[in-house]
């Protein structure tokens, strides 16, 4: 009995002590809240933002930064083998890639002019590799041609047809998107290996004319043919080629050779386009285009061609200028690439 009384007494004392202390603590907390409540909302917002950022592995593609690189290439002059513009652009692209890639190399090759065998073009393919770790299970190829067409043979003004094409869209647009991708790969390392390749000598060919074609060789893919030949052991899981992806009225249907030979890659890319709402990617089949992906398809490497069809009015004219391109178009293509690459494991 005594013990119980004592217990009760003791318990009461303890509980009264706790109650007093709780009241005091509560008052302190309320006072603190009164003084600092203004800060609670912003602090919570910062914490939530940090959590969201940490949970979002996909970086954000900057179309306006890509557009600056499109303009830059045109300003450096026509990118024709043997000219100052070609040399300066090669130096610019290589220097940019070296800032972001694990490894950058220039693969040189010679090509004899089909009309004048004494004329030799010194071609340069530029290769930048990201995530070269041995633990990486697969590699993906992203590519574009960096050369520009030496003659504007589609210009409505016949007097301009021997002039070079400025090639803002037909060349510079794909390269500009991939330079921005290189920056993103340095910011947020993808889980897969990625190789960015800029092909030279894509655009010295003649537009196919069935009456003149004597050989099945692709006239629009000298650099990519040389790349495949000189890198015989290179087998990426798949590849995506960008060509003419900068027009203000961008429209990319599914190119026929891509559907026939790399249909699963086409579906993967169009699925990504639907996810990010890239409306330029139309769900429609278009004709086949002789382009840099053909060299890979011949070797059963699934590489698709993202190319505007029908070709824009500026195609192979002196009017292929930055003013007919837009950062919004580059943004759409880049956002789709981010979605595709950062979904890969
Ligand atoms: Zn072209």
Find the 327 Cα to ligand 1 centroid distance in Å: 20
How confident is the model over 291-331, as pLDDT tens digits?
Answer: 999 999 999 999 999 999 999 999 999 999 999 999 999 99
In this structure, what token pair is assigned to residue 300?
A: 């059963």
How confident is the model over 40-81, as pLDDT tens digits?
Answer: 666 777 766 665 555 557 999 999 999 999 999 999 999 999
Find the 4 Cα to ligand 1 centroid distance in Å: 98
Q: How far apart (Å, rounded) are the C-alpha atoms in residues 93 and 127?
A: 10
Find the 149 Cα to ligand 1 centroid distance in Å: 6
How confident is the model over 79-96, as pLDDT tens digits?
Answer: 999 999 999 999 999 999
Find the 61 Cα to ligand 1 centroid distance in Å: 25
Find the 192 Cα to ligand 1 centroid distance in Å: 31
Find the 291 Cα to ligand 1 centroid distance in Å: 9
Listed in sequence order, the residues at least 6 apart from 65 whose beta carbon sits closer than 8 Å to its beta carbon are 180, 183
Find the 5 Cα to ligand 1 centroid distance in Å: 99
How confident is the model over 203-262, as pLDDT tens digits?
Answer: 987 765 544 545 446 778 999 999 999 999 999 999 999 999 999 999 999 999 999 999
Find the 141 Cα to ligand 1 centroid distance in Å: 21
Alpha carbon of residue 187 to chain centroid? 14
Find the 14 Cα to ligand 1 centroid distance in Å: 88
Find the 306 Cα to ligand 1 centroid distance in Å: 13
Res 152 pLDDT > 90: yes
Q: How far apart (Å, rounded) are the C-alpha atoms in residues 305 and 294?
A: 9
325 three-state secondary structure: strand
Question: How confident is the prediction for the chain on average, in pLDDT?
Answer: 88
Find the 170 Cα to ligand 1 centroid distance in Å: 5
Find the 82 Cα to ligand 1 centroid distance in Å: 18
Q: How far apart (Å, rounded) are the C-alpha atoms in residues 239 and 144?
A: 11
How confident is the model over 177-186, as pLDDT tens digits?
Answer: 999 999 999 9
Note whether 288 and 208 are within 8 A (CB): no
Confidence of residue 135 (pLDDT cuts 50, 70, 90): confident
Question: Cis peptide before 266, with omega less than 30 degrees from 0?
Answer: no
Find the 204 Cα to ligand 1 centroid distance in Å: 8
Find the 342 Cα to ligand 1 centroid distance in Å: 30
Find the 309 Cα to ligand 1 centroid distance in Å: 13
Find the 315 Cα to ligand 1 centroid distance in Å: 7
Write down the pTM of the prediction.
0.82
Find the 127 Cα to ligand 1 centroid distance in Å: 21
Note whether 316 and 165 are within 8 A (CB): yes
Find the 106 Cα to ligand 1 centroid distance in Å: 22
Find the 36 Cα to ligand 1 centroid distance in Å: 63
Q: Where are the strands (E) in the chain, listed by range?
A: 103-112, 120-130, 139-145, 193-199, 238-243, 252-254, 281-285, 303-307
Res 103 pLDDT > 80: yes
Say what percent of the chain tops pLDDT 90. Answer: 74
- Give CA torsion, residues 249, 254, 255, 257, to 10 deg: 170
Find the 98 Cα to ligand 1 centroid distance in Å: 27
Find the 171 Cα to ligand 1 centroid distance in Å: 7
Res 9 pLDDT > 60: no
Find the 205 Cα to ligand 1 centroid distance in Å: 9
Note whether 250 and 281 are within 8 A (CB): no
Find the 76 Cα to ligand 1 centroid distance in Å: 18
The pLDDT score that the predictor gives to residue 205 is 79
Find the 294 Cα to ligand 1 centroid distance in Å: 15
Higher pLDDT, 1 or 340: 340
Find the 203 Cα to ligand 1 centroid distance in Å: 5
The pLDDT score that the predictor gives to residue 8 is 39
């Amino acid at each position: 009995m005594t013990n119980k009384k004592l217990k009760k007494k003791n318990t009461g004392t303890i509980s009264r002590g706790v109650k007093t202390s709780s009241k005091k603590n509560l008052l302190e907390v309320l006072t603190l809240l009164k003084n600092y409540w203004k800060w609670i909302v912003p602090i919570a917002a910062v914490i939530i933002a940090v959590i969201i950022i940490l949970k979002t592995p996909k970086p954000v593609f900057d179309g306006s930064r890509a557009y600056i690189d499109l303009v830059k290439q045109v300003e450096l002059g026509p990118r024709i083998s043997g000219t100052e513009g070609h040399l300066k652009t090669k130096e610019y692209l290589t220097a940019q890639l070296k800032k972001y890639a694990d490894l950058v190399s220039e693969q040189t090759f010679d090509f004899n002019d089909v009309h004048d065998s004494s004329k030799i073009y010194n071609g340069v393919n530029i290769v930048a590799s990201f995530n070269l770790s041995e633990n990486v299970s697969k590699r993906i190829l992203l590519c574009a041609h960096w050369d520009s067409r030496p003659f504007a043979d589609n210009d409505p003004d016949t007097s301009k047809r021997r002039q070079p094409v400025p090639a803002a869209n037909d060349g510079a647009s794909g390269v500009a998107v991939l330079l921005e991708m290189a920056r993103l790969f340095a910011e947020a390392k993808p889980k897969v290996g990625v190789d960015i390749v800029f092909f030279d000598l894509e655009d010295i060919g003649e537009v196919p004319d069935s009456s003149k074609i004597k050989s099945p060789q692709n006239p629009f893919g000298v650099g990519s043919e040389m790349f495949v030949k000189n890198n015989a052991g290179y087998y990426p899981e798949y590849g995506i080629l960008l060509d003419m992806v900068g027009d203000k009225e961008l429209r990319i249907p599914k190119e026929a050779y891509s559907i026939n030979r790399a249909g699963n890659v086409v579906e993967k890319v169009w699925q990504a386009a639907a996810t990010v709402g890239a409306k330029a990617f139309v769900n429609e089949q278009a004709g086949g285009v002789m382009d840099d992906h053909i060299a890979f398809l011949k070797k059963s490497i699934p590489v698709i061609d993202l190319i505007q069809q029908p070709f824009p009015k500026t195609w192979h004219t002196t009017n292929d200028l930055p003013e007919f391109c837009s950062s919004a178009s580059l943004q759409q293509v880049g956002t789709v690439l981010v979605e595709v690459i950062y979904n890969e494991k």
